[in-house]
Structure 1
Amino acid sequence: GNVKQLYDTTKKLVGKYSRPERPVKDKEGKPITEIQQQRNRWVEYFEDILNRPAPTNPPDIKAAHTDFPIDVNPSTTQEIRMAIRQIKNGKASGSDNIPAEALKSDIRQIKNGKASGSDNIPVEALKLDTEEEEQVPMDWKEGHLVKIPKKGDLSKCENYRGITLLSIPGKVFNRVLMNRMKDAVDAQLRDQQAGFRKD
Protein backbone atom coordinates (compact mmCIF):
# COMPACT_ATOMS: atom_id res chain seq x y z
CA GLY A 1 0.00 0.00 0.00
CA ASN A 2 1.11 3.53 -0.78
CA VAL A 3 1.04 5.52 2.47
CA LYS A 4 1.14 8.91 0.75
CA GLN A 5 -1.92 7.94 -1.29
CA LEU A 6 -3.67 6.77 1.91
CA TYR A 7 -2.95 10.10 3.64
CA ASP A 8 -3.97 12.17 0.60
CA THR A 9 -7.24 10.28 0.21
CA THR A 10 -8.04 10.62 3.91
CA LYS A 11 -7.36 14.36 3.82
CA LYS A 12 -9.64 14.79 0.78
CA LEU A 13 -12.45 12.84 2.42
CA VAL A 14 -12.25 14.71 5.72
CA GLY A 15 -11.77 18.16 4.21
CA LYS A 16 -10.85 21.32 6.07
CA TYR A 17 -13.28 23.05 8.40
CA SER A 18 -12.45 26.43 9.86
CA ARG A 19 -14.47 28.50 12.29
CA PRO A 20 -14.27 32.27 12.25
CA GLU A 21 -11.63 33.62 14.62
CA ARG A 22 -12.83 35.17 17.89
CA PRO A 23 -11.51 38.75 18.16
CA VAL A 24 -8.50 39.08 20.46
CA LYS A 25 -6.53 41.95 21.93
CA ASP A 26 -2.86 42.77 21.39
CA LYS A 27 -0.31 43.05 24.22
CA GLU A 28 -1.44 46.61 24.98
CA GLY A 29 -5.10 45.52 25.25
CA LYS A 30 -6.27 47.04 21.94
CA PRO A 31 -8.73 44.92 19.89
CA ILE A 32 -7.37 43.36 16.70
CA THR A 33 -9.91 43.22 13.89
CA GLU A 34 -7.96 41.84 10.93
CA ILE A 35 -7.85 38.02 10.74
CA GLN A 36 -4.16 37.76 9.78
CA GLN A 37 -3.14 40.11 12.62
CA GLN A 38 -5.16 37.96 15.05
CA ARG A 39 -3.36 34.86 13.85
CA ASN A 40 -0.01 36.63 14.18
CA ARG A 41 -0.97 37.55 17.76
CA TRP A 42 -1.67 33.89 18.55
CA VAL A 43 1.70 32.88 17.09
CA GLU A 44 3.42 35.58 19.15
CA TYR A 45 1.57 34.51 22.33
CA PHE A 46 2.39 30.81 22.03
CA GLU A 47 6.01 31.53 21.01
CA ASP A 48 6.41 33.59 24.20
CA ILE A 49 5.03 30.73 26.30
CA LEU A 50 6.77 27.82 24.58
CA ASN A 51 10.19 29.29 23.74
CA ARG A 52 11.55 29.93 27.21
CA PRO A 53 15.31 30.32 27.68
CA ALA A 54 17.27 27.48 29.28
CA PRO A 55 18.04 27.90 32.99
CA THR A 56 21.29 29.78 33.60
CA ASN A 57 22.32 27.56 36.54
CA PRO A 58 21.02 24.05 35.87
CA PRO A 59 21.23 21.63 38.83
CA ASP A 60 24.37 19.53 38.96
CA ILE A 61 22.92 16.02 38.68
CA LYS A 62 25.12 13.06 37.88
CA ALA A 63 24.09 11.36 34.64
CA ALA A 64 22.53 7.93 35.03
CA HIS A 65 23.76 4.79 33.29
CA THR A 66 22.28 4.90 29.77
CA ASP A 67 24.02 2.08 27.92
CA PHE A 68 20.92 -0.06 27.39
CA PRO A 69 20.68 -2.69 24.63
CA ILE A 70 17.74 -1.16 22.72
CA ASP A 71 16.60 -2.95 19.56
CA VAL A 72 17.16 -0.68 16.53
CA ASN A 73 15.97 -3.11 13.84
CA PRO A 74 12.96 -2.22 11.67
CA SER A 75 9.60 -2.52 13.44
CA THR A 76 7.84 -5.85 13.13
CA THR A 77 4.16 -6.16 12.24
CA GLN A 78 3.54 -7.67 15.68
CA GLU A 79 5.15 -4.65 17.42
CA ILE A 80 3.06 -2.24 15.37
CA ARG A 81 -0.16 -4.14 16.13
CA MET A 82 0.62 -4.11 19.85
CA ALA A 83 1.36 -0.37 19.74
CA ILE A 84 -1.93 0.30 17.89
CA ARG A 85 -3.83 -1.61 20.60
CA GLN A 86 -2.20 0.59 23.26
CA ILE A 87 -3.37 3.85 21.66
CA LYS A 88 -6.58 5.19 23.26
CA ASN A 89 -9.80 5.56 21.24
CA GLY A 90 -11.73 8.80 21.04
CA LYS A 91 -8.70 11.08 20.87
CA ALA A 92 -8.50 13.88 18.32
CA SER A 93 -6.27 13.11 15.36
CA GLY A 94 -3.42 15.30 14.17
CA SER A 95 -3.02 17.17 10.90
CA ASP A 96 -3.25 13.92 8.88
CA ASN A 97 -6.81 13.30 10.21
CA ILE A 98 -6.24 9.57 10.77
CA PRO A 99 -8.06 8.44 13.94
CA ALA A 100 -6.92 5.57 16.15
CA GLU A 101 -10.14 3.72 15.34
CA ALA A 102 -9.13 3.50 11.65
CA LEU A 103 -5.92 1.68 12.57
CA LYS A 104 -7.67 -0.50 15.16
CA SER A 105 -10.36 -1.61 12.70
CA ASP A 106 -7.63 -3.23 10.61
CA ILE A 107 -6.45 -5.26 13.62
CA ARG A 108 -10.02 -6.39 14.42
CA GLN A 109 -10.53 -7.59 10.83
CA ILE A 110 -7.34 -9.64 10.95
CA LYS A 111 -8.30 -11.10 14.34
CA ASN A 112 -11.75 -12.12 13.03
CA GLY A 113 -10.21 -13.70 9.93
CA LYS A 114 -11.77 -11.16 7.56
CA ALA A 115 -8.48 -9.85 6.16
CA SER A 116 -5.42 -11.48 4.74
CA GLY A 117 -1.86 -10.23 5.14
CA SER A 118 -2.07 -8.23 1.91
CA ASP A 119 -5.28 -6.49 3.09
CA ASN A 120 -3.39 -5.38 6.15
CA ILE A 121 -3.02 -1.86 4.73
CA PRO A 122 -2.70 0.46 7.78
CA VAL A 123 -0.29 -1.81 9.67
CA GLU A 124 1.85 -2.52 6.60
CA ALA A 125 1.74 1.16 5.59
CA LEU A 126 3.10 2.21 8.99
CA LYS A 127 5.84 -0.39 8.67
CA LEU A 128 6.83 0.39 5.09
CA ASP A 129 6.78 4.16 5.40
CA THR A 130 9.60 4.25 7.94
CA GLU A 131 11.58 1.38 6.40
CA GLU A 132 11.62 2.60 2.79
CA GLU A 133 12.27 6.26 3.56
CA GLU A 134 14.54 5.49 6.53
CA GLN A 135 13.11 8.54 8.24
CA VAL A 136 9.93 9.48 10.05
CA PRO A 137 7.35 11.21 7.80
CA MET A 138 6.95 14.95 8.47
CA ASP A 139 3.22 14.51 9.25
CA TRP A 140 4.20 12.30 12.19
CA LYS A 141 6.49 14.95 13.68
CA GLU A 142 4.21 17.96 13.34
CA GLY A 143 1.52 18.92 15.81
CA HIS A 144 -1.58 21.03 15.40
CA LEU A 145 -1.83 23.60 18.21
CA VAL A 146 -5.41 24.16 19.36
CA LYS A 147 -6.48 26.84 21.80
CA ILE A 148 -8.90 25.86 24.58
CA PRO A 149 -10.77 28.65 26.42
CA LYS A 150 -10.43 29.00 30.18
CA LYS A 151 -12.46 31.31 32.43
CA GLY A 152 -12.39 35.06 32.02
CA ASP A 153 -12.28 37.52 29.14
CA LEU A 154 -11.87 35.44 25.97
CA SER A 155 -10.53 38.40 24.02
CA LYS A 156 -7.28 37.97 26.01
CA CYS A 157 -4.86 35.29 24.85
CA GLU A 158 -3.90 34.58 28.48
CA ASN A 159 -7.35 33.08 29.05
CA TYR A 160 -6.63 30.17 26.71
CA ARG A 161 -4.43 27.15 27.05
CA GLY A 162 -2.91 25.38 24.11
CA ILE A 163 -2.94 21.66 23.42
CA THR A 164 -1.06 19.98 20.61
CA LEU A 165 -2.84 17.36 18.52
CA LEU A 166 -0.32 14.81 17.27
CA SER A 167 -0.53 12.34 14.42
CA ILE A 168 -1.97 8.97 15.52
CA PRO A 169 0.37 7.00 13.20
CA GLY A 170 3.21 9.04 14.72
CA LYS A 171 2.01 8.06 18.20
CA VAL A 172 2.04 4.41 17.12
CA PHE A 173 5.64 4.76 15.92
CA ASN A 174 6.61 6.46 19.21
CA ARG A 175 4.84 3.73 21.17
CA VAL A 176 6.89 1.05 19.37
CA LEU A 177 10.08 2.90 20.37
CA MET A 178 8.86 3.40 23.94
CA ASN A 179 7.98 -0.30 24.29
CA ARG A 180 11.49 -1.22 23.12
CA MET A 181 13.08 1.19 25.59
CA LYS A 182 10.84 -0.06 28.40
CA ASP A 183 11.88 -3.67 27.69
CA ALA A 184 15.56 -2.67 27.81
CA VAL A 185 15.15 -0.73 31.07
CA ASP A 186 13.03 -3.43 32.72
CA ALA A 187 15.70 -6.02 31.92
CA GLN A 188 18.25 -3.90 33.84
CA LEU A 189 16.09 -3.20 36.91
CA ARG A 190 16.31 -5.48 39.90
CA ASP A 191 13.24 -7.63 40.58
CA GLN A 192 13.05 -6.12 44.08
CA GLN A 193 12.43 -2.61 42.71
CA ALA A 194 8.65 -2.29 42.81
CA GLY A 195 8.31 1.50 42.99
CA PHE A 196 8.23 3.79 39.93
CA ARG A 197 7.52 0.94 37.51
CA LYS A 198 4.74 1.03 34.96
CA ASP A 199 3.42 -2.54 35.43
Structure 2
Amino acid sequence: MSLKNMKSAGHDGLSISTLKRRIDNISDAMATAVNDVIASGCFPDSLKTAQVTLIHKKGDNSKIENYCPISILPAFSKVVEKVIYTRLMTFLSRHNLIFENQNGFMKNKSTSALSSP
Protein backbone atom coordinates (compact mmCIF):
# COMPACT_ATOMS: atom_id res chain seq x y z
CA MET A 1 0.00 0.00 0.00
CA SER A 2 3.02 2.32 0.39
CA LEU A 3 3.73 2.36 -3.35
CA LYS A 4 2.75 5.52 -5.20
CA ASN A 5 -0.64 5.41 -6.92
CA MET A 6 0.40 5.09 -10.53
CA LYS A 7 -2.20 4.70 -13.24
CA SER A 8 0.37 3.71 -15.87
CA ALA A 9 0.39 -0.01 -16.56
CA GLY A 10 3.20 -2.25 -17.73
CA HIS A 11 2.92 -4.90 -20.43
CA ASP A 12 0.67 -6.91 -18.09
CA GLY A 13 -2.01 -4.20 -18.18
CA LEU A 14 -2.07 -3.77 -14.38
CA SER A 15 -1.31 -0.55 -12.57
CA ILE A 16 -0.42 0.03 -8.92
CA SER A 17 -3.79 1.80 -8.53
CA THR A 18 -5.61 -1.29 -9.81
CA LEU A 19 -3.70 -3.59 -7.47
CA LYS A 20 -4.54 -1.37 -4.51
CA ARG A 21 -8.24 -1.35 -5.39
CA ARG A 22 -8.26 -5.16 -5.56
CA ILE A 23 -5.92 -5.86 -2.63
CA ASP A 24 -8.63 -7.52 -0.50
CA ASN A 25 -9.20 -10.09 -3.24
CA ILE A 26 -5.58 -10.79 -4.18
CA SER A 27 -3.46 -10.22 -1.07
CA ASP A 28 -3.09 -13.92 -0.14
CA ALA A 29 -2.13 -14.95 -3.67
CA MET A 30 0.21 -11.97 -3.99
CA ALA A 31 1.93 -12.75 -0.67
CA THR A 32 2.44 -16.36 -1.76
CA ALA A 33 3.87 -15.26 -5.12
CA VAL A 34 6.23 -12.72 -3.52
CA ASN A 35 7.43 -15.30 -0.99
CA ASP A 36 7.98 -17.83 -3.80
CA VAL A 37 10.12 -15.32 -5.71
CA ILE A 38 12.19 -14.62 -2.60
CA ALA A 39 12.50 -18.30 -1.59
CA SER A 40 13.54 -19.39 -5.07
CA GLY A 41 15.99 -16.52 -5.53
CA CYS A 42 14.72 -16.28 -9.09
CA PHE A 43 13.12 -13.10 -10.39
CA PRO A 44 10.95 -14.12 -13.39
CA ASP A 45 11.97 -12.71 -16.77
CA SER A 46 8.40 -11.52 -17.37
CA LEU A 47 8.77 -9.15 -14.41
CA LYS A 48 11.94 -7.69 -15.92
CA THR A 49 10.27 -6.75 -19.20
CA ALA A 50 9.41 -3.07 -19.42
CA GLN A 51 7.05 -1.18 -21.66
CA VAL A 52 9.09 1.70 -23.08
CA THR A 53 7.34 4.98 -23.84
CA LEU A 54 8.87 8.10 -25.35
CA ILE A 55 8.09 11.41 -23.65
CA HIS A 56 8.62 14.63 -25.60
CA LYS A 57 10.91 16.95 -23.64
CA LYS A 58 11.62 19.95 -25.89
CA GLY A 59 11.97 21.26 -29.40
CA ASP A 60 10.97 19.74 -32.69
CA ASN A 61 8.55 16.79 -32.36
CA SER A 62 10.06 15.15 -35.45
CA LYS A 63 13.55 14.74 -33.90
CA ILE A 64 14.14 11.64 -31.78
CA GLU A 65 16.77 13.40 -29.64
CA ASN A 66 13.99 15.61 -28.22
CA TYR A 67 12.37 12.59 -26.55
CA CYS A 68 13.22 10.82 -23.31
CA PRO A 69 12.43 7.09 -22.96
CA ILE A 70 10.74 5.91 -19.79
CA SER A 71 10.36 2.27 -18.81
CA ILE A 72 7.18 1.05 -17.16
CA LEU A 73 7.64 -2.21 -15.29
CA PRO A 74 4.81 -4.57 -14.33
CA ALA A 75 3.12 -3.55 -11.07
CA PHE A 76 3.87 -6.90 -9.45
CA SER A 77 7.61 -6.41 -10.02
CA LYS A 78 7.37 -3.14 -8.09
CA VAL A 79 5.64 -4.95 -5.23
CA VAL A 80 8.38 -7.61 -5.12
CA GLU A 81 11.07 -4.91 -5.24
CA LYS A 82 9.46 -3.01 -2.35
CA VAL A 83 9.15 -6.13 -0.19
CA ILE A 84 12.79 -7.13 -0.80
CA TYR A 85 13.99 -3.58 -0.15
CA THR A 86 12.01 -3.33 3.10
CA ARG A 87 13.21 -6.71 4.37
CA LEU A 88 16.83 -5.97 3.44
CA MET A 89 16.84 -2.52 5.05
CA THR A 90 15.21 -3.90 8.20
CA PHE A 91 17.87 -6.60 8.46
CA LEU A 92 20.77 -4.21 7.81
CA SER A 93 19.45 -1.68 10.33
CA ARG A 94 18.69 -4.27 12.99
CA HIS A 95 22.22 -5.68 12.76
CA ASN A 96 23.86 -2.26 12.50
CA LEU A 97 25.41 -3.09 9.12
CA ILE A 98 24.85 0.26 7.41
CA PHE A 99 27.88 2.55 7.25
CA GLU A 100 27.02 5.93 8.80
CA ASN A 101 28.05 7.79 5.63
CA GLN A 102 25.84 5.63 3.42
CA ASN A 103 23.41 7.95 1.68
CA GLY A 104 22.18 6.15 -1.44
CA PHE A 105 18.78 4.48 -1.02
CA MET A 106 18.51 5.81 2.52
CA LYS A 107 15.41 7.61 3.73
CA ASN A 108 15.94 11.35 4.37
CA LYS A 109 19.50 11.26 3.00
CA SER A 110 20.79 12.58 -0.29
CA THR A 111 23.63 11.50 -2.55
CA SER A 112 23.91 15.06 -3.91
CA ALA A 113 26.94 16.98 -2.77
CA LEU A 114 26.12 19.91 -0.53
CA SER A 115 26.98 23.22 -2.07
CA SER A 116 29.42 25.31 -0.11
CA PRO A 117 28.41 28.87 0.89
* Same fold flag (TM > 0.5): yes
> TM-score, normalising length from structure 2?
0.69
Local SS of the residue matching 2:12 = coil
- Which residue of structure 2 aligns with residue 28 of structure 1? none
> TM-score, normalising length from structure 1?
0.43
Q: Does 1:184 align with 2:91?
A: yes
Local SS of the residue matching 1:86 = coil
- Which residue of structure 2 aligns with residue 87 of structure 1? 3
Specify every segment of 5 or more residues in structure 2 that has no aligned partner in the other structure, as ranges.
109-117
From 47, 50, 58, the counterpart of 1:140: 47
Opposite residue 93 of structure 1, the aligned amino acid is: A
Q: Which has the larger radius of gyration?
A: 1
**Aligned residues between the structures:** 101
- Which residue of structure 2 aligns with residue 125 of structure 1? 29
Specify every segment of 5 or more residues in structure 1 that has no aligned partner in the other structure, as ranges.
1-84, 110-119
The root-mean-square deviation of aligned C-alpha atoms, in Å, is 2.8
- Which residue of structure 2 aligns with residue 157 of structure 1? 64
CA contact (8 A) 1:96 1:139 kept: no
Q: How do 1:29-48 residues align onto structure 2 when only pairs under 5 Å count? A: none
From 16, 24, 32, the counterpart of 1:100: 16
Opposite residue 128 of structure 1, the aligned amino acid is: T
Q: Percent identity?
A: 30
Task: Please report how far the alpha carbon of residue 194 of structure 1 lies from its aligned counterpart in structure 2 after TM superposition.
Answer: 9.4
Task: Please report how far the alpha carbon of residue 195 of structure 1 lies from its aligned counterpart in structure 2 after TM superposition.
Answer: 8.2
Report which of the two has the higher share of helix: 1
Local SS of the residue matching 1:101 = helix
